[in-house]
Amino acid sequence: MTAPFEKSRPGAPVGFFAAEAAGLAWLRAAGGPTIPDVVEVGRERIVLDRVTEVAPTAHAAEGLGRGLARMHRAGAPHHGAPPPGWTTDGFIATLPLPHQVEDQGLGWPEFYVTHRVTPFLRLARDRDAVDADGVAAVERVCARLTAGAVPVPPAEPARLHGDLWAGNVLWSADGPVLVDPAAHGGHRETDLAMLALFGLPQLDRVLAAYDEAWPLDDGWRDRVALHQLHPLLVHAALFGGGYGRQAVSAAAAYR
């Protein structure tokens, strides 16, 4: 029998691992990619079924694309909605992630600016990872987005993993497995843009299979950098100015 996998964080804030467990359960219920079972969860640790990793294959990548389409299509009550039963903010990496427990009636652009870009831009600025000119550049894009000057087709809230970088996709003999979510309701293109940010293997096959299962809106490739703005600001707040410069560069595509 394979031993379970344990993650721990001494001094973790209240709810840190409970939020992860709630997100895993919500994503598992969508019937998409495999989500590991939670064996135990506590204040400072979570124990999961262990995943034995193998090299990614084209077949597994196509399965991931189709599975993500199913997961996203399972939907969410509104943009920013947390997993069921979760009544406060979540976490992304080690940072608080603002949720909207109640539906505030925000469309995706307003939600994205208010609850994803602005809080992390402020944090990155406070940590000297984005300078004043960079802040102004990102704020200009936010204003254009909420004014409709950056076109984004309206979409029903999707059920997102929320932190879907390549390291949170594990390739097993039984197919891809998703871990470490920051699950919430949002725009499906956000997860796909995050996959592209740090170079997921076989990404072209993943995207092609996704598009076949649930066709993407016209122009989605032109919006990849827009959706990457939030995770880049998260990384800027955590790791410094190199990511801050990338975030400002991403914003420049929409000025």
CA distances from 6 to 29, 38, 48, 50, 163 (A): 22, 10, 6, 9, 19
| Helices vs. strands in the chain: H and E counts, helices first | 9, 9
What CATH number is associated with residue 131? 3.90.1200.10
173 found inside a domain: yes
176 found inside a domain: yes
27 found inside a domain: yes
CA 188 to chain centre: 9
CA distances from 217 to 109, 152, 189, 195, 241 (A): 16, 9, 9, 18, 33
Please give the helix or strand (H or E) that residue 39 lies within, else none: strand 38-41
3-state SS, residue 36: coil
Dist. CA 87–CA 77, nearest whole Å: 14
CA angle 135, 137, 143 (to 5 degrees): 100
Q: Which domain holds residue 224?
A: 5-94+105-252
DSSP letter for each residue of 94-134: TEEE---SS-----HHHHIIIIIIHHHHHHHHHTTSS-HHH
99 found inside a domain: no
CA torsion sign for 72, 75, 76, 82 is negative
24 found inside a domain: yes
Structural domain count, the chain: 1
Amino acid identity, position 254: Y
Instruction: For the chain, 255 residues long, give each residue's pLDDT as a single digit of tens.
Output: 477 999 999 999 999 999 999 999 999 999 999 999 999 999 999 999 999 999 999 999 999 999 999 999 999 999 999 999 999 999 999 999 999 999 999 999 999 999 999 999 999 999 999 999 999 999 999 999 999 999 999 889 999 999 999 999 999 999 999 999 999 999 999 999 999 999 999 999 999 999 999 999 999 999 999 999 999 999 999 998 799 999 999 999 998
39 found inside a domain: yes
100 found inside a domain: no
159 found inside a domain: yes
